[in-house]
A = this chain, B = another copy of it.
């Protein structure tokens, strides 16, 4: 936990690497070669490794940041008037954002870890769970769904979206399936 005061150029390069990684991962996911990221950042591969111990760590740093944003949104929605609307809005928003970001898709596809299931995703887990529970209590969402199911459904929507990006129906099917059948 030491921060020995990074040199100015080092700080700059670290930022450039992060920006380049965010961009490259968003387009091509984990498949992008590390050299490519270094090239975009205008930096050598060695420099990337000075700041991040491995490609995986860099990827995780990028993904975690994004997931934390989702968690923050979820927490803010907890005080919304209509619990059902808040929940479904959040759901759609996450799917829409993530489907435009290959990095998040890949992180989710990895069953072990990096995604919403990682330790770093704790904030997201608890916040989305709260959102779900509140919507269920309000009678807007069917009861036989828990937080794990919710994340699995998000992953499923992402896959469907990637498979057929032009159709907007898919998320709606899932959303309608989630609604409480009165």
Contact = CB atoms under 8 A, between A and B. Distances in A.
Interface string A147-182: 011011101111111111001011011111110010
Interface in A75-121: 108-109, 111
A2 interface: no
A153 B173 contact: yes
A138 interface: no
A15 interface: no
- Copy tally for this chain in the complex stands at 2
Interface residues of A, number: 33
Nearest 6 interchain pairs by C-beta: A177-B177, A156-B160, A159-B159, A152-B164, A173-B177, A156-B156
Interface of A: 108-109, 111, 142, 144-146, 148-149, 151-153, 155-164, 167, 169-170, 172-178, 181
18 contacts: A108-B163, A145-B173, A148-B167, A149-B164, A151-B163, A152-B167, A153-B173, A155-B159, A156-B156, A156-B159, A156-B174, A159-B159, A159-B160, A173-B178, A174-B177, A175-B177, A176-B181, A177-B177
